[in-house]
Structure 1
Amino acid sequence: MSSDTRDRILDALETLLLERGAAQMTLDNVAAAAGVSKGGLLYHFKSKDALLVGLVQRLGDRARAQLGEARASGSSIAEWYLQTPDPTTQDDAVELALYRSLLATMRTIDASAGSEPHEVQRALDAVMAAWSDNLDTEVDDPVRADTIRLVGDGVYLRALLGLPQIEPARYRAVVDRLLQR
């Protein structure tokens, strides 16, 4: 089985989580949605937790790739963190894939609320910590770094929930102030 199959399985998992919720996320349902046998799914992911960790790792991979592209085009980590989706650009599909991965991942955490932190929670914590560490490294003022992080998280959450975004010129002024331009 190829990495295409692995991605197809993770895509199916995301779709199940987003459309039907964590309660419907069984190995059988994921395998059926991906068009593979349960054995084929287990070839790539040895357990449900391994499947969920794979989802979180792909989220981290997508974020690292997007950040790398942003850095290559001259953006700072803070600018990347504060970005909003722009439906008029080709990159929007890449960004929306990242949002979709994060929302699906959040649904898995929701299902395990109240239990002891497990492998999936630790994997998500590691992804989020890496984003924070990069921001802390770039921004010399820790309070400003936290403000950027909180604003970026709020913008991200609004996009995930499909809420209207702040008027673009006004948001640009917010970003400029946070970046001290």
Structure 2
Amino acid sequence: MPPPPAARDRVLDAFERLLVDRGERAATLDAVAREAGVSKGGLIYHFPSRDAMVEGLLDRMHARAAQDDALMRAAPEGVVAYFLRTSQFADTPFDRTLVAATRLRSHASAREALAGVQRHWYDAVQTAVGDRTVAQMVMLMGDGLYYNASAPDALASTGTPQYQANVDEMVTLVSELVRLRSGGAGSDSGSVSG
């Protein structure tokens, strides 16, 4: 009798945890099976090779990225506000999958998948602001927010971030910049902020 479908997710969860916590070299088939609480045969039933596990993780990332893209484009507060708020690492399932995928940089398919996620974010932001340079600035702001939230050196000795980003003010500045770059005409900032 085949293992229950939940076993496949447990294997992917274990692979993700090992990648995030200990890196790619530690995420062997044996280690993943132990972490998932399945036999090696059970793991191989779902993922006959390590490459198959990598592809399974990337499929998970694509699915979560598609959900995030839909949420971002429909966000009442606007695309830019959503993007910047979610750029602060919050340990969501999507965050963990993204971090795990970054640990697989030695795999061309992981690099391509991560670049694809980045392109989707950029396309949504660029569509919202209507300006390539402003969109690039927003993307870099998101990168900085993510780094500040996740980098160990970004914490002061008190254990709190050295500075707290005010995303609302950032969104307001982006809206003002979009208005200025469009010649001061009343631009549709609804897609920038709600």
State the TM bucket, normalised to the shorter chain: 0.7 to 0.9
> Using a 3 Å threshold, how does the CA distance of structure 1 residues 61 and 77 change in structure 2: closer, same or farther?
farther
> Partners in 2 of 1:135 and 1:148 — Cα distance?
8
Deviations 1:66-97 (A, max 9, x none): 3434544513222221115889xxxx5xx532
Of 157-166 and 27-36, deviating more is: 157-166
Cα distance in 1 for partners of 2:9, 2:169 equals: 38
Indicate yes or no: 2:11 matched with 1:9: yes
Larger C-alpha radius of gyration, 1 or 2? 2
* Residue 146 (structure 1) shift: 0.6
| Corresponding position of 1:105 | 101
Q: Deviations over 1:28-48 (max 9, x none)?
A: 111111112223223322321
Identical aligned residues as a percent: 37
Question: What does 1:26-105 correspond to in 2, within 5 Å?
Answer: 26-84=28-86, 96-105=92-101
SS of the residue corresponding to residue 103 of structure 2 reads helix
CA contact (8 A) 1:56 1:105 kept: yes
Q: In structure 2, how many angstroms separate the alpha carbons of the residues matched to 1:8 and 1:37? A: 12
- The whole-number CA distance in structure 2 between the counterparts of 1:64 and 1:43 is 27
Write the deviation string for residues 77-127 of structure 1: whole angstroms up to 9, x where unpaired.
22221115889xxxx5xx532222222221221xx2xxxx62222222222
Residues matched between the structures, number:
168
Gaps of 5+ in 2: 155-160, 177-188, 190-194
SS of residue matched to 1:144:
helix
Residue 148 of structure 1 pairs with residue 138 of structure 2? yes
Q: State the TM-score, normalizing by the size of structure 2.
A: 0.72
| Contact 1:16–1:24 under 8 Å retained in 2 | yes
Q: Can you give the 5+ residue segments of structure 1 that lack an aligned partner in the other structure?
A: none
Indicate the RMSD between aligned Cα atoms, in angstroms. Answer: 2.7
2:174 aligned residue: 178
